[in-house]
Protein backbone atom coordinates (compact mmCIF):
# COMPACT_ATOMS: atom_id res chain seq x y z
CA UNK A 1 0.00 0.00 0.00
CA UNK A 2 1.63 3.26 -1.11
CA UNK A 3 -0.83 5.67 0.44
CA UNK A 4 -1.32 4.07 3.82
CA UNK A 5 -0.10 1.56 6.39
CA UNK A 6 0.07 -1.96 5.04
CA UNK A 7 1.44 -3.90 7.99
CA UNK A 8 1.88 -4.06 11.75
CA UNK A 9 5.61 -4.67 12.32
CA UNK A 10 6.22 -6.89 15.34
CA UNK A 11 7.15 -4.89 18.41
CA UNK A 12 6.12 -1.57 16.88
CA UNK A 13 3.65 0.48 18.95
CA UNK A 14 0.27 0.97 17.34
CA UNK A 15 0.24 4.70 18.11
CA UNK A 16 2.96 7.10 19.19
CA UNK A 17 2.15 10.71 20.00
CA UNK A 18 5.10 13.03 20.56
CA UNK A 19 4.63 16.57 21.81
CA UNK A 20 1.09 16.69 20.42
CA UNK A 21 -0.66 20.02 20.86
CA UNK A 22 -3.67 21.94 19.61
CA UNK A 23 -4.57 25.57 20.18
CA UNK A 24 -7.84 27.39 19.55
CA UNK A 25 -6.88 31.04 19.54
CA UNK A 26 -5.26 31.64 22.89
CA UNK A 27 -6.61 28.42 24.40
CA UNK A 28 -4.25 25.45 24.51
CA UNK A 29 -6.73 22.55 24.46
CA UNK A 30 -4.06 19.85 24.18
CA UNK A 31 -0.52 20.61 25.33
CA UNK A 32 2.64 18.57 24.74
CA UNK A 33 0.97 15.17 25.02
CA UNK A 34 3.29 12.19 24.75
CA UNK A 35 1.51 8.85 24.51
CA UNK A 36 2.50 5.37 23.38
CA UNK A 37 -0.18 2.74 22.81
CA UNK A 38 1.08 -0.83 22.53
CA UNK A 39 -0.36 -2.95 19.74
CA UNK A 40 -3.23 -5.23 20.71
CA UNK A 41 -3.95 -3.47 24.01
CA UNK A 42 -6.85 -1.44 25.36
CA UNK A 43 -5.61 1.98 26.49
CA UNK A 44 -8.12 4.19 28.30
CA UNK A 45 -7.96 7.99 28.46
CA UNK A 46 -9.71 9.55 31.45
CA UNK A 47 -10.06 13.05 32.84
CA UNK A 48 -12.66 15.60 33.92
CA UNK A 49 -14.78 17.55 31.45
CA UNK A 50 -12.61 19.94 29.45
CA UNK A 51 -9.47 17.86 29.90
CA UNK A 52 -8.94 17.61 26.12
CA UNK A 53 -9.88 13.97 25.60
CA UNK A 54 -12.20 14.38 22.61
CA UNK A 55 -9.88 16.97 21.06
CA UNK A 56 -7.06 14.43 21.34
CA UNK A 57 -9.18 11.85 19.51
CA UNK A 58 -9.92 14.37 16.75
CA UNK A 59 -6.18 14.99 16.35
CA UNK A 60 -5.45 11.27 16.09
CA UNK A 61 -8.24 10.67 13.56
CA UNK A 62 -7.23 13.70 11.48
CA UNK A 63 -10.45 15.64 11.96
CA UNK A 64 -8.37 18.40 13.55
CA UNK A 65 -4.91 19.48 12.42
CA UNK A 66 -2.01 19.46 14.85
CA UNK A 67 -0.67 22.76 16.13
CA UNK A 68 2.50 20.94 17.21
CA UNK A 69 3.98 17.49 17.56
CA UNK A 70 3.65 14.28 15.56
CA UNK A 71 1.53 11.13 15.39
CA UNK A 72 2.72 7.75 14.12
CA UNK A 73 0.60 4.71 13.22
CA UNK A 74 2.63 1.49 13.35
CA UNK A 75 5.78 3.49 12.60
CA UNK A 76 4.35 5.61 9.77
CA UNK A 77 4.17 9.35 10.41
CA UNK A 78 0.52 10.25 9.72
CA UNK A 79 0.66 13.80 11.11
CA UNK A 80 -0.15 15.47 7.79
CA UNK A 81 -2.51 12.84 6.44
CA UNK A 82 -6.17 13.64 5.90
CA UNK A 83 -8.87 12.04 8.02
CA UNK A 84 -9.93 9.94 5.02
CA UNK A 85 -6.43 8.63 4.41
CA UNK A 86 -6.01 7.78 8.09
CA UNK A 87 -9.35 5.95 8.10
CA UNK A 88 -8.39 3.94 5.02
CA UNK A 89 -5.03 3.19 6.64
CA UNK A 90 -6.52 1.67 9.76
CA UNK A 91 -7.80 4.28 12.22
CA UNK A 92 -11.48 3.75 13.05
CA UNK A 93 -13.62 5.86 15.34
CA UNK A 94 -16.94 6.08 17.15
CA UNK A 95 -18.37 9.27 18.65
CA UNK A 96 -20.02 10.51 21.83
CA UNK A 97 -23.30 10.89 19.91
CA UNK A 98 -24.28 8.00 17.67
CA UNK A 99 -24.24 8.77 13.94
CA UNK A 100 -25.99 5.75 12.42
CA UNK A 101 -28.30 6.30 9.43
CA UNK A 102 -31.76 5.94 10.95
CA UNK A 103 -33.61 5.53 7.65
CA UNK A 104 -31.56 2.49 6.67
CA UNK A 105 -31.68 -1.01 8.08
CA UNK A 106 -28.92 -2.40 10.25
CA UNK A 107 -27.71 -4.49 7.31
CA UNK A 108 -27.65 -1.46 5.02
CA UNK A 109 -25.69 0.62 7.54
CA UNK A 110 -23.01 -2.05 7.77
CA UNK A 111 -23.01 -2.69 4.02
CA UNK A 112 -22.28 0.98 3.31
CA UNK A 113 -19.31 0.79 5.69
CA UNK A 114 -18.03 -2.39 4.04
CA UNK A 115 -18.23 -0.87 0.57
CA UNK A 116 -16.79 2.43 1.68
CA UNK A 117 -13.65 0.62 2.85
CA UNK A 118 -13.07 -0.77 -0.65
CA UNK A 119 -14.09 2.06 -3.03
CA UNK A 120 -12.32 0.49 -6.01
CA UNK A 121 -13.87 -2.96 -5.62
CA UNK A 122 -17.38 -1.82 -4.78
CA UNK A 123 -19.79 0.93 -5.67
CA UNK A 124 -22.00 2.43 -3.01
CA UNK A 125 -24.63 2.69 -5.72
CA UNK A 126 -24.27 -0.86 -7.01
CA UNK A 127 -26.41 -3.79 -5.98
CA UNK A 128 -28.51 -3.07 -2.92
CA UNK A 129 -28.06 -6.68 -1.87
CA UNK A 130 -24.86 -7.88 -0.21
CA UNK A 131 -22.70 -10.46 -1.94
CA UNK A 132 -22.05 -13.81 -0.29
CA UNK A 133 -18.75 -12.54 1.12
CA UNK A 134 -20.43 -9.37 2.39
CA UNK A 135 -23.21 -11.45 3.95
CA UNK A 136 -20.68 -13.53 5.82
CA UNK A 137 -18.91 -10.44 7.13
CA UNK A 138 -22.21 -8.82 8.14
CA UNK A 139 -23.21 -12.00 9.99
CA UNK A 140 -19.90 -11.95 11.85
CA UNK A 141 -20.27 -8.29 12.85
CA UNK A 142 -23.89 -8.68 13.93
CA UNK A 143 -22.93 -11.62 16.14
CA UNK A 144 -19.89 -9.86 17.59
CA UNK A 145 -21.95 -6.78 18.49
CA UNK A 146 -24.98 -8.77 19.73
CA UNK A 147 -27.48 -7.30 17.25
CA UNK A 148 -28.20 -10.29 14.98
CA UNK A 149 -31.93 -10.07 15.72
CA UNK A 150 -32.07 -6.56 14.21
CA UNK A 151 -30.51 -7.24 10.80
CA UNK A 152 -33.55 -6.04 8.83
CA UNK A 153 -34.70 -3.44 11.37
CA UNK A 154 -34.37 0.25 10.59
CA UNK A 155 -31.74 1.82 12.80
CA UNK A 156 -34.24 4.46 13.94
CA UNK A 157 -36.38 1.71 15.51
CA UNK A 158 -33.56 0.46 17.72
CA UNK A 159 -33.01 1.56 21.29
CA UNK A 160 -30.17 3.99 21.93
CA UNK A 161 -28.05 1.21 23.39
CA UNK A 162 -28.63 -0.97 20.33
CA UNK A 163 -27.68 1.96 18.08
CA UNK A 164 -24.39 2.25 19.98
CA UNK A 165 -23.77 -1.44 19.28
CA UNK A 166 -24.56 -0.86 15.60
CA UNK A 167 -22.15 2.06 15.51
CA UNK A 168 -19.43 -0.23 16.82
CA UNK A 169 -20.27 -2.81 14.13
CA UNK A 170 -20.00 -0.08 11.48
CA UNK A 171 -16.58 0.96 12.79
CA UNK A 172 -15.39 -2.66 12.80
CA UNK A 173 -16.64 -3.13 9.22
CA UNK A 174 -13.85 -0.82 8.09
CA UNK A 175 -11.26 -3.30 9.43
CA UNK A 176 -9.39 -0.83 11.64
CA UNK A 177 -6.00 -1.58 13.15
CA UNK A 178 -6.65 1.06 15.82
CA UNK A 179 -10.17 1.79 17.08
CA UNK A 180 -10.96 5.04 18.90
CA UNK A 181 -14.02 4.57 21.13
CA UNK A 182 -15.38 7.89 22.40
CA UNK A 183 -17.48 7.14 25.48
CA UNK A 184 -19.12 3.91 24.22
CA UNK A 185 -21.28 3.69 27.36
CA UNK A 186 -22.44 7.33 27.29
CA UNK A 187 -26.21 7.55 27.66
CA UNK A 188 -26.61 3.84 28.33
CA UNK A 189 -28.67 2.52 31.22
CA UNK A 190 -26.90 0.42 33.88
CA UNK A 191 -28.46 -2.68 32.29
CA UNK A 192 -26.98 -1.76 28.89
CA UNK A 193 -23.48 -0.97 30.11
CA UNK A 194 -22.59 -4.55 31.01
CA UNK A 195 -23.31 -5.94 27.53
CA UNK A 196 -21.39 -3.07 25.91
CA UNK A 197 -18.41 -3.78 28.16
CA UNK A 198 -18.56 -7.46 27.20
CA UNK A 199 -18.53 -6.55 23.50
CA UNK A 200 -15.46 -4.34 23.97
CA UNK A 201 -13.66 -7.05 25.99
CA UNK A 202 -14.29 -9.59 23.24
CA UNK A 203 -12.93 -7.48 20.38
CA UNK A 204 -10.22 -9.21 18.32
CA UNK A 205 -6.91 -9.64 20.15
CA UNK A 206 -4.94 -7.94 17.39
CA UNK A 207 -7.13 -4.82 17.47
CA UNK A 208 -5.70 -1.86 19.39
CA UNK A 209 -8.34 0.10 21.29
CA UNK A 210 -8.00 3.66 22.58
CA UNK A 211 -11.04 4.48 24.68
CA UNK A 212 -12.53 7.52 26.44
CA UNK A 213 -15.00 6.66 29.17
CA UNK A 214 -16.48 8.61 32.10
CA UNK A 215 -17.79 5.51 33.87
CA UNK A 216 -14.67 4.89 35.93
CA UNK A 217 -15.44 1.34 37.00
CA UNK A 218 -16.17 0.40 33.40
CA UNK A 219 -13.06 2.19 32.12
CA UNK A 220 -10.65 0.68 34.63
CA UNK A 221 -12.22 -2.74 34.14
CA UNK A 222 -11.49 -2.62 30.41
CA UNK A 223 -8.03 -1.04 30.44
CA UNK A 224 -4.57 -2.51 30.13
CA UNK A 225 -3.10 0.99 30.55
CA UNK A 226 -4.66 4.30 31.57
CA UNK A 227 -3.70 7.90 30.84
CA UNK A 228 -5.26 10.73 32.83
CA UNK A 229 -5.49 14.15 31.15
CA UNK A 230 -5.98 17.40 33.03
CA UNK A 231 -6.19 20.80 31.31
CA UNK A 232 -4.89 19.23 28.10
CA UNK A 233 -1.79 17.69 29.66
CA UNK A 234 -0.87 14.19 30.81
CA UNK A 235 -1.27 14.12 34.58
CA UNK A 236 -0.56 10.43 35.11
CA UNK A 237 -0.19 7.13 33.28
CA UNK A 238 -0.11 3.58 34.57
CA UNK A 239 -2.01 0.39 35.16
CA UNK A 240 -5.63 0.61 36.35
CA UNK A 241 -4.48 -0.18 39.90
CA UNK A 242 -1.82 2.53 39.80
CA UNK A 243 -4.25 5.12 38.46
CA UNK A 244 -6.91 4.19 41.00
CA UNK A 245 -4.39 4.72 43.82
CA UNK A 246 -2.85 7.92 42.41
CA UNK A 247 -3.69 10.85 44.74
CA UNK A 248 -3.39 13.43 41.95
CA UNK A 249 -5.91 11.53 39.84
CA UNK A 250 -8.24 11.23 42.80
CA UNK A 251 -8.02 14.98 43.39
CA UNK A 252 -8.64 16.15 39.82
CA UNK A 253 -10.88 13.39 38.48
CA UNK A 254 -12.76 11.73 41.29
CA UNK A 255 -13.01 15.02 43.17
CA UNK A 256 -14.39 16.73 40.06
CA UNK A 257 -16.88 13.89 39.57
CA UNK A 258 -18.11 14.28 43.14
CA UNK A 259 -18.35 18.03 42.70
CA UNK A 260 -20.51 17.68 39.57
CA UNK A 261 -22.62 14.80 40.88
Q: Is the pLDDT of residue 260 over 80?
A: no
* CATH 3.40.50.300 domain span(s) along the chain: 13-90+176-260
pLDDT tens digits, residue range 96-126? 777 789 999 999 999 999 987 654 344 444 5
Give residue 216's pLDDT.
79
Give residue 186's pLDDT.
87
pLDDT tens digits, residue range 9-63? 778 999 999 999 999 998 999 999 999 999 999 999 998 888 999 999 999 999 9
DSSP conformation class of 156: G
Q: Give Cα separations from 154 to 104, 109, 132, 142, 143 (angstroms).
A: 5, 9, 22, 14, 17
Of 172, 118, 128, the C-alpha closest to 147 is 172
d(CA 141, CA 92): 15
Fold of the domain spanning 13-90+176-260: Rossmann fold (3.40.50)
d(CA 193, CA 179): 19
pTM of the model: 0.88
Q: Pick the residue with more confidence: 215 or 121?
A: 215
pLDDT tens digits, residue range 126-144? 556 888 999 999 999 999 9
d(CA 23, CA 143): 42
Across the range 207-215, mean pLDDT stands at: 92
Amino acid sequence: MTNGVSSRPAGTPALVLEGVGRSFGGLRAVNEVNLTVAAGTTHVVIGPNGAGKTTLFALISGELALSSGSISLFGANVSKWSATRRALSGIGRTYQITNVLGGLTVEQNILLALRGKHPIKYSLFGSAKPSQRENERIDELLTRCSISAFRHTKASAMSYGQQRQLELAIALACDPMVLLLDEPAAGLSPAERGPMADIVRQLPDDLTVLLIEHDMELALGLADRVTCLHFGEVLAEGTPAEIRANPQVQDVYFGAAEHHA
